[in-house]
A and B are shown apart, each in its own frame.
Chain A
Amino acid sequence: QQQVKQSPQSLIVQKGGISIINCAYENTAFDYFPWYQQFPGKGPALLIAIRPDVSEKKEGRFTISFNKSAKQFSLHIMDSQPGDSATYFCAAMTTDSWGKLQFGAGTQVVVTP
Chain B
Amino acid sequence: EAEVAQSPRYKITEKSQAVAFWCDPISGHATLYWYRQILGQGPELLVQFQDESVVDDSQLPKDRFSAERLKGVDSTLKIQPAELGDSAMYLCASSLEGLNSPLHFGNGTRLTVT
A residues neighboring B (CB under 8 Å): 4, 6, 34, 36, 41-46, 49, 89, 91, 95, 97-101, 103-106
Query: Which among A45, A46, A99, A103 has the greatest number of chain B C-beta atoms within 10 A?
Result: A99
Contact call B107/A105, Cβ cutoff below 8 A? no
Contact call B41/A43, Cβ cutoff below 8 A? no
The proximity string for B residues 4-28 relative to A, scoring 1 for CB distances below 8 Å and 0 otherwise, is: 1000000000000000000000000
Interface size on B, residues (CB 8 A): 25
Are A34 and B43 CB-contacts (below 8 A) given A44-B91, A99-B48?
no
User: How far, in angstroms, from A100 to B45 measured CA to CA in the complex?
Assistant: 6
A104, chain B: closest CB distance, angstroms? 6
Residue of B nearest to A6 (CB): B42
A26, chain B: closest CB distance, angstroms? 16
Contact call A89/B48, Cβ cutoff below 8 A? no
The proximity string for B residues 87-113 relative to A, scoring 1 for CB distances below 8 Å and 0 otherwise, is: 000010101000101111111100000
B40 interface residue (CB < 8 Å to A): yes
Residues of A within 8 A of B99 (CB): 95, 98
Contact call A43/B42, Cβ cutoff below 8 A? no
Are A100 and B56 CB-contacts (below 8 A) given A41-B107, A44-B105?
yes
Out of B33, B42, B91, B107, name the residue touching A99 (CB < 8 Å): B33
Contact call A89/B33, Cβ cutoff below 8 A? no
Query: Which among A36, A41, A43 has the greatest number of chain B C-beta atoms within 10 A?
Result: A43
B42, chain A: closest CB distance, angstroms? 3
Contact call A97/B91, Cβ cutoff below 8 A? no
User: How far, in angstroms, from A45 to B103 measured CA to CA in the complex?
Assistant: 9
Residues of A within 8 A of B35 (CB): 101
Contact call B4/A43, Cβ cutoff below 8 A? yes
Residues of A within 8 A of B104 (CB): 46
